[in-house]
Structure 1
């Protein structure tokens, strides 16, 4: 199966999951704390890119209430519909594959020049909480470099990942098959450095998903800064 077909199936899976995602992960203390640090470091009105916004809760809501200008992307039409309905006006919402950020495909395939090469350096920060885990490890490395191009020098990246050594591993989640990737924390820090980021803080939090057969996991929250 080619990449585009596989990503389309992932999007359909999350269309079906919809609001049940939040039921499986109701406690988001680590994610909330990571976004608070971003808000505290930015000036009012600063542009922030929320990558894989899902239903919009909690990060779109939190960033908007923090006085930031939010652009939110997701590949799932179902998730975006929920976000637009529950948080209208909180963000500029767009359907897009995060892997295409910073590339010409952002404009040619998705009609979003501000998220392609023309938008280089346009964002003060990006947040990506458990969205990059849906890419193979190789694509995670590429995506991080592309996200970096959209940030201004010294721009921030708040990243949420699961600590595990898996590469596009298939699993059942809320009745849908998805594929998950992860890194051990040392390799993830090295990967971010190679992509042009300095990791300023890394916090690990054990987490036991609710209403799902997924096992307990170690969530990693990283506060990163684009190197010049």
Structure 2
């Protein structure tokens, strides 16, 4: 159990910070990441899709919750019970301060225990890209099982056929793995999710070291058994 000092402003800080690569990158980016993506109309439209379909007081898991905005904030302000998970201590602290109505936990979604059918909805906005393809497939499968039958999932990725490619993201070195759009959609369907809507966008983050990038948003449902 976390010590009392590890609990503050709704955050639960992990005692064993193993500094996964994504944590290093997003600790540095902090609020710059939020500012760079604040104008993403695709992200906000995806959130609106989810908000219009959730029952009051739904339990929602936000994977890779970042600074808490806009995802956790929009959900919490609508009265939903939000758990945000992120590997970056800086992001967890920022989110806890910016969105006090939600709970944020420092944890790796690849290892976090998830009870079957424990959430009404899951959000996964661009938080898989520094995982291997096998890890991405396993995580999506675990998240699908964590949804109750009829539960909703929104997933967003950069739909490119790349594996273990070294690059620079907003001035930070990263290693990226992703899928072509059709392959990612098949991965999601294989996990047991029905894709209800698919949206594509081209977005340019507001940062001098960032260029235009394709975005794919999938809006899904876990069917009843």
TM-score range, shorter chain: 0.7 to 0.9
Contact 1:173 1:212 in 2 (8 A): no
Q: CA deviation at 1:216?
A: 1.3
The aligned runs of 1:92-107 (5 Å cut-off) are 92-100=103-111, 106=112
Provide the secondary structure at the position in 2 that maps to 1:132: coil
2:210 counterpart of 1:214: yes
Structure 1 CA distance for aligned equivalents of residues 194 and 201 of structure 2: 21
What residue is the counterpart of 1:186 in the other structure?
Answer: 182
CA contact (8 A) 1:163 1:217 kept: no
* Corresponding residue number in structure 1 for 2:26: 14
Distance between the aligned counterparts of 1:212 and 1:168, measured in 2? 24
2:53 corresponding residue in structure 1: 41
How many residues align structurally? Answer: 209
- Shift of the 137–212 alpha-carbon distance from structure 1 to 2, 3 Å rule, reads farther
In structure 2, the residue matched to 1:57 is: 69
Asked if the contact 2:171–2:209 (Cα under 8 Å) also holds between the matched residues in 1, the reply is no
Displacement after TM superposition at 1:7 (Å): 5.8
> Superposition RMSD on alpha carbons, in Å?
1.8
- Partner Cα distance (2:42, 2:171) in 1: 26
Whole-Å separation in 1 of the counterparts to 2:161 and 2:209 = 19
Q: Report the 3-state secondary structure (helix = DSSP H, G, I; strand = E; otherwise coil) of the residue aligned with 2:214.
A: strand
2:117 to 113, 116, 121: 121
When residues 194 and 71 of structure 1 are mapped into structure 2, their CA distance, relative to the original with a 3 A threshold, is same
Q: Which runs of 5+ in 2 are unaligned?
A: 1-15
Shift of 1:183: 1.7
Give matches, 1:134-173, under 5 Å. Answer: 134-173=130-169
User: Is 1:160–1:221's contact at 8 Å kept on the other side of the alignment?
Assistant: yes
Aligned mates of 2:194, 2:63 — CA distance in 1: 19
Deviations 1:29-60 (A, max 9, x none): 11111111112111111100011000001001
TM-score by length of 1: 0.86
Aligned ranges 1:46-85 → 2 under 5 Å: 46-85=58-97
